Structure 1
Amino acid sequence: MKCHVVAVGQRLPAWAEEACADYLKRFPPEARVVVHAVKAEPRSEGRPVAAVMAAEAARLRAACPKGAHLVVLDERGQRCTTEELAQRWARWQQRGDDVALLIGGPDGLDPALREQAHERLRLSDLTLPHALVRVLLLEQLYRAWSIHAGHPYHRA
């Protein structure tokens, strides 16, 4: 299994880039996680938000490997503890297919893309800055892997 984090937005602050790079290098080769950043659609006056989200959804889909198990991060998604995420990680590994976790743009994800997803998760009940979402997701994926692998990173 290869885990793909596919996110709208190409530029992160230096602190977030550094944190993301740190977590990405921690994963072992058999639990590879890669990040794909896709261009955000320009938000111009008078342009419908639905059109913006549809264009970003097309970019997100294009960046996902064919046949990947799609998991969208959405404020209406299912709440999940770290231990439950570790169980999901184990299921994803057992399936053997690539997994793509999708992070939408400032307006969220296109409703059609949300409906096409195999799973919908929420990271928090709070509204989080985009850069922090990437860092938090990568940290939680690493923690989920560490629980599943019996690595001492996670201490309950």
Structure 2
Amino acid sequence: MKVRILTVGQKMPKWVQTGFDEYYKRIQPMLTTEIVELAAAKRAKNPSDTNLAQYREQEGQAILATHANASREQLWVLDVKGKMLSTEDLANKLAAAMQQGDDIALVIGGADGVSPEVLATADSKWSLSALTLPHPLVRVVLMEQLYRAMSINNNHPYHRGN
């Protein structure tokens, strides 16, 4: 099984890259993981609602084009309105995808959200938190949670649940 993180945005701050890289390195023996950075739409200084919809559409097209090139890949979209999962739920969901022989593309949308087309295509919509998280921090939290879930699935002592 392979997980691709399809994320809008490039050139993250050093602290983000350091945190992401730490969990990326740790998870590789348990789960092949790849990050695919997609260019963010060029933004106007004071965008209108129409502009914001255009940005989501442009970024959504890039996400769907990248996903279309993969076979047997479930599309899981991080979305504030998605289902909240515990770490154990995530571990079970990953294990089920592995049993089905599917890969997973996890989508981190752009600063203005994800297009309706991407949401309509999603096999799963997942909310990391009801909190508004800084976009770069989502990468680190996502990788840590993937690592923690795979630790559960591999009986690794990293996760110490109650």
- Shorter-normalised TM range: over 0.9
CA RMSD, 1 decimal: 1.3
Larger mean Cα displacement after TM superposition, 107-116 or 41-50: 41-50
Aligned: 1:101 with 2:112 = no
Shift of 1:27: 1.6
Separation of aligned partners in 2, 1:40 and 1:138: 21
Separation of aligned partners in 2, 1:155 and 1:4: 26
**TM-score, normalised by the number of residues in structure 1:** 0.95
Partner of 2:24: 24
The 5 A counterparts of 1:4-153 are 4-29=4-29, 31-44=31-44, 45=47, 48-64=51-67, 65-153=70-158
Cα pair 1:4 1:101 within 8 Å, conserved: yes
**Structure 1, gaps ≥5 residues long:** none
Shift of 1:62: 2.4
Cα separation, partners in 2 of 1:81 and 1:155, compared to 1, 3 Å: same
Which residue identity does 1:124 align to in structure 2?
S
What percentage of aligned pairs have identical amino acids? 41
The runs of at least 4 consecutive aligned structure 1 residues that moved more than 3 Å come to: none
**Structure 2, gaps ≥5 residues long:** none
Cα pair 1:38 1:63 within 8 Å, conserved: no
Shift of 1:30: 5.0
Shift of 1:115: 1.2
**TM-score, normalised by the number of residues in structure 2:** 0.91
Shift of 1:78: 0.3
